[in-house]
Amino acid sequence: MTAYVIRRVLTGLLILVLLSMLTFLLFNALPADPAALTCGKNCTPQVIEANRIRLGLDLPLWQQYIEFVKGLFVGRTYGSGTATFACAAPCLGYSFRRGQEVTPLILDALPVTIYLAVGAFVLWTVVGVLLGIFAALRRGRWQEKATLGAALVGYSFPSFFIGLLLLFFVVIRWRLLPYPSYVPPQDNPVQFFQTMILPWITLALIFAAFYIRLTRNQMLETLGEDYIRTARSKGLAEHTVIRKHALRAGLTPIVTAAGLDLAGLLGGAIIVESVFTLPGLGRLAINAVVDADLPVIVATVLVAGSFIVIANIIVDLLYAVIDPRVRLS
Partner 1 sequence: MTETYVRVEDLKVSFKTEDGIVRAVDGVSFGVDRGKTLAVVGESGSGKSVTAQALMGLVNKRNAQVEGSAWVGDNELISSSDDDLRKLRGSMMSMIFQDPFASLHPFYRIGAQLAEAIRVHRSMSKAEAREEVLTMLRRVGIPNPERRIDDYPHQLSGGMRQRVMIAMALINGPSLLIADEPTTALDVTVQAQIMELLAELQEQYNTAIILITHDLGVVADVADEVAVMYAGRLVERGSLDDIFYSPEMPYTVGLLSSVPRLDAVSERLTPIPGQPPSLINLAAGCVFYPRCTASSRVPGDRCATERPDLLQVTPTHAVRCHLDQEQREQFANESLAAVTGAEGGAA
Nearer Cβ to partner 1 (310/322): 322
Contact call for residue 144 and partner 1 (CB under 8 A): no
Least separation in angstroms between CB 223 and partner 1: 10
Phi-psi region of 75 (alpha: psi -120 to 50; beta: other; left: phi over 0): left
Give the interface segment with partner 1, choosing from 66-74, 193-201, 301-309, 319-327 (CB under 8 A). Answer: 319-327
CB-wise, 46 or 329, nearer to partner 1?
329
Determine if 239 is a binding residue for partner 1 (CB under 8 A): no
Choosing from 31, 45, 81, 140, the residue that interacts with partner 1 (CB under 8 A) is 140
| 323 near partner 1, judged by CB under 8 A | yes
Out of 40, 60, 81, 324, the residue judged to bind partner 1 by CB under 8 A = 324
131 counts as binding partner 1 under rule CB under 8 A: no
Q: List the one residue out of 201, 196, 205 whose CA is nearest residue 278.
A: 196
Q: Does 145 bind partner 1 (CB under 8 A)?
A: no
Cis amide prior to 31 (ω within 30 degrees): no
Nearest 10 degrees: CA dihedral of 245, 250, 253, 255?
A: -70
328 binds partner 1 (CB under 8 A): yes
CB of 254 to partner 1, least distance (A): 15
Out of 225, 260, 274, 318, name the contact with partner 1 by CB under 8 A. 225
| Contact window for partner 1 (CB under 8 A) among 58-66, 151-159, 255-263, 318-326 | 318-326
**What is the 3-state secondary structure of the chain?**
CHHHHHHHHHHHHHHHHHHHHHHHHHHHHCCCCHHHHHCCCCCCHHHHHHHHHHCCCCCCHHHHHHHHHHHHHHCEEECCHHHCEEECCCCCCEECCCCEEHHHHHHHHHHHHHHHHHHHHHHHHHHHHHHHHHHHHCCCCHHHHHHHHHHHHHHHCCHHHHHHHHHHHHHHHCCCCCCCCCCCCCCCHHHHHHHHHHHHHHHHHHHHHHHHHHHHHHHHHHHCCHHHHHHHHCCCCHHHHHHHHHHHHHCHHHHHHHHHHHHHHHCCCHHHHHHCCCCCHHHHHHHHHHHCCHHHHHHHHHHHHHHHHHHHHHHHHHHHHHCHHHHHC
Q: Does 187 bind partner 1 (CB under 8 A)?
A: no
Q: Does 256 bind partner 1 (CB under 8 A)?
A: no
In the list 236, 289, 310, 318, the residue contacting partner 1 (rule: CB under 8 A) is 236
The stretch near partner 1 (CB under 8 A) out of 8-16, 150-158, 167-175, 224-232 is 224-232
Residue 309 or 320 with smaller CB distance to partner 1: 320
Residue 41, interface with partner 1 (CB under 8 A)?
no
Taking CB under 8 A as the binding criterion, the range among 5-13, 44-52, 144-152, 229-237 that sits at the site for partner 1 is: 229-237
Could you say whether residue 249 binds partner 1 (CB under 8 A)?
yes
**Least distance from C-beta 248 to partner 1, angstroms?**
5
Between 54 and 245, CB nearer to partner 1: 245
Min CB(230)–partner 1 separation in Å: 5
HSE-CB at 299 with a 13 A cutoff on CA atoms is 28
Name the site residues for partner 1 (rule: CB under 8 A): 140, 225-227, 229-237, 240, 245, 248-249, 322-325, 328
